[in-house]
Structure formats: structure tokens, C-alpha cells
Structure 1
Amino acid sequence: MTEGFPHAAVLWDIDGTLADSEPLHLETFRRVAASVGVTLPEDFHERTVGRSEEMSLGLLQSDYGLPLGMAEWTKRRFADYISHAPEIPAIPETLALWHRLAALGVAQALVSNSDRMIVAANIATLGLERPGLVSVTRNDVVQGKPAPEPYLRAALLLGVAPEACAVVEDSATGMRAGLAAGATVYAVPHAEGDLLEGVRPLADLLARLPEDQTA
């Protein structure tokens, strides 16, 4: 554990936390749904943010009559997303914190409810590709967020106890996963809705950095 820092590792969500990618996710959902005659409601994003592809597709099929199965849906949506991924802006404050923690030698991992192809595109856009980078995607676990498995797996891969980890999230779905894993959960300032009980603001994590790194 880095001296003066209370966590053995920091586990990061990506979409909406490090990358401002939620608008692109919504755009690709709308475009692919529209291509088969389905119009998404205004509250679709609020109903699906942080949820897995399977859960979002299930909602589209059951509530809006989407006529595509998983294979064809993912083929179309992922191709659309990946083609636009280089345009995704980073979230400067959190990406800067990632690099500050890396400079301190704090272990870090990326933990996403998205497919491996989506995560790979996001990692490339953020410039975080490096040997030994630990990332956990929806493809790597049986149950995605809000189940704790993604964060438990990330902690296992880093060789640290989940209770010694910090989790940084923007969605209630992800926060629940982090809490269920036993980690200390921090919410980014732009997190959706009110903070869940037990979740701390990201400012608390910033305050715990060694003083010479926060100047």
C-alpha cells in the first residue's frame, strides 16, 4: 500500500467516470433502434445507465418490440460505437486523478459493464493502454454490476482484498456493485441522482492523497 494513502488499489468504472461516453452509447442505441423502426423514449438513458448490454436489450425487446436478437444487435451497435469512439472526450478531472495515482504507484484497474470490444475502444481513446493493465468487462464475469463479481474479480487480479480497494463510479448500478464487494465507494461529482447510503464524494478520496501530490 502506498504510504499515506488508505487504499491498496483503486478500481475505476469507465463510461461516465473516466470517459464521457454515455452520450455516444445513447446515440448508438437510438440509431440502431431507429434502423428497425423503433423510437426510444426520452427516459431511456435514465432507465439503462450503468446496466449491461443484455439488460438494456431485454428492455428494448420487452417494452418496445425491438425485433433484433443479441447477436445482430451487438454486431450493429458495437460497430457504430467503435467507429465513433475516437471522438469520445475524456473527463479531465478523473483522468488526471488516474495519472496522479499511477505516479504514486497505487494499483489500479478498469471495471466495466460493457463488452470487451467497447472497453478496448474506450481504453485506446483514453490513452490508457499499457502492458499489465488490469481490466474486467461484462465478458469476464457471470454476473455484471450491480452484482459484486466484477469488482471482486478486479481485486483478485490485482492480488488485494476487496475491502482494501476504493471504487470510483458514476451510476447507482455501479455503486451498488462496489458496496456489495465490500469496497469503499466514491462517486464522481456528476454522478446520477443522490448518493447511495455509504457512498462518499470523490472529494474525500482526493483529500486522502499525500499532500505533495495534491498541491
Structure 2
Amino acid sequence: MSFPHQAIFWDIDGTLADSEPVHERSFHQAIDGLGLDLPDDLHDRILGMSEERCHAYLVQKCGLELGLAEWTARRHALYMAMLDDVHAFPKAMEIWDGLAAQGVRQMAVSNSDRRLLMANLVRLGLDLPGTLLVSRNDVRQGKPEPEPYLRGAWLLDVDPAQCAVVEDSPTGVQAGQAAGMTVYAAPDMAPGLRETLGLPCASRLLELLPA
């Protein structure tokens, strides 16, 4: 039996990289002192959103007055200062490495700014020469729209219907499904969320490899 997918597209934050706590801290530090009215579940509400969607939410719902460029520079500087706290998820990296060893094509597709995405790939040891990737800077519409994943398929010249996505957030899952790809849950996705979304775990990908 041959492997059923022509390529695997990985989200990074919260999927391969344990970076969401750093994103959360950078958000709260960026917000600190601005006098905003924030909901207790802010991180859950913005999980998986692109920077401009997060900024729009803070403007519309929380009273943020900073423009997008000023907010982004402020938030990104704080994230980069805490980059040493970003680590790989061992289970996810085991799957990536297992697929890579069998020659399966893989790519990072992220809603993050290219600068942050590249910094995370360096932390993961995945900043390899010739590596193709898709960041928020490379598309007109980020996730939950399908464009990031469709662009990944275009770059690899593969059929989207024959590709798979590994995601950790409802926003990313929606993007992968809208692109017509098979979506797998990141190994460290909350079990309750994985069950709610009805997704197989990405560990299944290793089981699908030819013997």
C-alpha cells in the first residue's frame, strides 16, 4: 500500500512548536499599561488568528488605539525577546522526522509573520537550505481562508485533494478543510477539542507509511 498523501502541510505555533505560551505572554506584555478591557479567555478567542485579525479584535472589542504597524512591532519585539522559551513538541517532531525519513514532502504553513515563522523554524532545526514555506506575508488572506494551504500545494505542484494538514486550532482546521485537504489533529491538541472536531491524530500518518 502506498502512502495516501502527496504532501503534508504543518501549522507551526502549537503544532510543531510549543510557542503558544510565548505568544500569550507577548500579547499580555504588549497590552500591559494600555488600559484595555480584556476578556478572561482572550488567548482562546484569538488562537490561530493572523496578526491583523488579532489587532482588529483588540480594536473592535477591547479599545486598542494603536495602529496595526505599531502594534505588530511592539508585540513581535516582545516575542523575539522570549524566543529561547520556544521548544519543539517531541511527539510532533517524531512524526515529522519519521515522514521525512521516508521521503514524504512536508512544508510549514503558518498564519504568523515570516520573521516569526523563520525564527521558530530555527528553534526547531528546520531552517534547511531550499526549504519552502508559506507565511502570512505570502498570501492575501490568512487562515481560516484556504489560501495558505492552496498556495503550499501550488508551490509543491501537488493536488490539494491528495494532501494532508496537521493543525491545533479550529481556525487552522477550517482552512485545511476549505482547501479540500485531509486534516489531522496535532498530537498535543487538547483531546476534547480533537474529539469535538472529529479529527484523527497525526500519529496515524506514521501508521500509513508503507511497511
The two structures have a TM-score, normalised by structure 1, of 0.91
Structure 1: state its 5+ residue gaps.
none
Q: How many residues align?
A: 209
Q: Which amino acid aligns with 2:38?
A: L
- Provide the C-alpha distance between the structure 2 equivalents of 1:136 and 1:203, rounded to a whole number of angstroms: 23
Q: Which amino acid aligns with 2:205?
A: L
C-alpha contact (below 8 Å) 1:170/1:188 kept by paired residues: yes
C-alpha contact (below 8 Å) 1:11/1:110 kept by paired residues: yes
- Provide the C-alpha distance between the structure 2 equivalents of 1:138 and 1:51, rounded to a whole number of angstroms: 10
Q: Name the counterpart of 1:4.
A: 2
Sequence identity percentage: 51
| Mapped pair 1:207 → 2:201 | no
- Provide the C-alpha distance between the structure 2 equivalents of 1:8 and 1:171, rounded to a whole number of angstroms: 23
Tell me the secondary structure at the aligned position of residue 109 of structure 1: strand
- Provide the C-alpha distance between the structure 2 equivalents of 1:116 and 1:151, rounded to a whole number of angstroms: 15
Question: Compared with structure 1, are the counterparts of its residues 147 and 41 closer, same or farther at alpha carbon in structure 2 (3 Å cutoff)?
Answer: same
Question: Compared with structure 1, are the counterparts of its residues 128 and 183 closer, same or farther at alpha carbon in structure 2 (3 Å cutoff)?
Answer: same
C-alpha contact (below 8 Å) 1:168/1:188 kept by paired residues: yes
Q: Name the counterpart of 1:53.
A: 51
Q: Name the counterpart of 1:161.
A: 159
C-alpha contact (below 8 Å) 1:33/1:40 kept by paired residues: no
Question: Compared with structure 1, are the counterparts of its residues 97 and 139 closer, same or farther at alpha carbon in structure 2 (3 Å cutoff)?
Answer: same
The two structures have a TM-score, normalised by structure 2, of 0.93
Question: Compared with structure 1, are the counterparts of its residues 153 and 93 closer, same or farther at alpha carbon in structure 2 (3 Å cutoff)?
Answer: same
- Provide the C-alpha distance between the structure 1 equivalents of 2:141 and 2:189, rounded to a whole number of angstroms: 23
The alignment's C-alpha RMSD in Å is 1.6
C-alpha contact (below 8 Å) 1:187/1:195 kept by paired residues: no
Q: Deviations over 1:140-167 (max 9, x none)?
A: 1011111110000001101111111111
TM-superposed deviation, 1:35: 3.5
- Provide the C-alpha distance between the structure 1 equivalents of 2:171 and 2:20, rounded to a whole number of angstroms: 14
